[in-house]
Structure 1
Amino acid sequence: MDVIARFCKIYTDICQISPVDLEKIYANDILFIDPITTHRGIGEVKNYFANLLTQAESCKFDIADIFICSQQISSCHSNVTHVVNWTMTLVLKDNAKKITLDGTTQLGVDGDIIIYHKDYYDLGEMVYEHVPILGFIIKKIKGKLAK
């Protein structure tokens, strides 16, 4: 099983993974970026996932597309070799509300290990729209912009 297949398997339900599973797909010096923060190294990525796992009841990814880049696109520190489109379904332990979010991940693979991971998604849709007053305001603004 290649690293992309292992990546897809792990992300099927990340609440079922262990830190060892992360070592099977990410390099020791992985650069992992999402709209919230940047994690450098497998230790920081493990801490990030450990924190997520304490808060999430479930977190599943439905991977819709995997594109292999025919020409390596230069990114901040790595070459992007794959682009993955997904839908995440997240249920937090302290809130039974289900959050569904579409996103895209750029991956840089070297050999059979991921050295670069960058997520793109709407942070407002994931976080801000679920804060009672702030969510109401953001949804109103989006509605006005859509007109």
Structure 2
Amino acid sequence: MSTTHSDVEQSGLARQGASAAARLASFYETLTPARLASLEQFYAPDARFKDPFNEVNGIDAIRRIFEHMFATTDAPRFVVTERIEQGAQAMLGWTFHFGLRGRALTVRGVTHLRFDAAGRVELHRDYWDAAEELYEKLPLIGGAMRLMRRRLGAT
């Protein structure tokens, strides 16, 4: 079987995406406020970031999201539980551990990543269920969210 230029190029992107995803997973697992200064090593200047609460473009805006996380939660940390890679894209499964008003909480989710030719993130899209993973665990609205889930559920 012969290898074409595009096969070699695609193979290089796969290796680059894989190594970029592994580096990014490690970065998130060791994230601290001080490490936010190195965000440029992992994200393209015009990177897009979206989660259930934010949709921003650019490294400075992404940095502000993480600064806000550190300012409003206690001891936040990510544990990457899965990593699936294909070409210049990856999916990271993760658990986010943090404290909020004296309560220990966890949120489970998945991040879709797309990397540029330099191996930096150009698209970061977080998927997690804010109702189940967060709202149902909060004292005031948790009961209402659980009741709504029971009423709307098929079982």
Q: TM-score range by the shorter chain?
A: 0.7 to 0.9
What is the TM-score of this pair, normalised by structure 1?
Answer: 0.81
Is 1:99 matched with 2:105?
yes
The answer to whether structure 1 residue 59 and structure 2 residue 107 are counterparts is no
Higher mean alpha-carbon deviation, 123-132 vs 61-70, is at: 123-132
Length-normalised TM-score, structure 2: 0.77
2:115 alignment partner in structure 1: 109
For 1:12, which of 21, 29, 35 is the aligned residue? 29
Instruction: After TM superposition, give the deviation of residue 137 of structure 1 in Å.
Output: 0.9
Question: Tell me, what secondary structure is at the counterpart of 2:90?
Answer: strand
Q: Which runs of 5+ in 2 are unaligned?
A: 1-15
- 1:18 Cα shift? 2.8
Partner of residue 24 from structure 1, selected from 38, 41, 59 = 41
1:62–1:87: 8 Å Cα contact kept in structure 2?
yes
Letter in 2 for 1:85: G
Q: Quick one: which amino acid aligns to residue 100 of structure 1?
A: T
Shift of 1:138: 0.6
- Any unmatched runs of 5+ in structure 1? 71-79
Q: 1:3 is matched with which residue? A: 20
- Counting matched residue pairs gives 136
Greater share of strand: 1
Which of these residues, 60, 65, 70, is aligned with residue 43 of structure 1?
60
Counterparts of 2:134 and 2:53, CA distance in 1: 10
Percent of paired sites with the same residue: 24
As a proportion of its length, which structure holds more helix?
Answer: 2
Which of residues 51, 59, 70 in structure 2 aligns to 1:34?
51
Q: 1:89 aligns with which of 82, 91, 97?
A: 97
Deviations 1:44-85 (A, max 9, x none): 011111111111221222212111125xxxxxxxxx711111
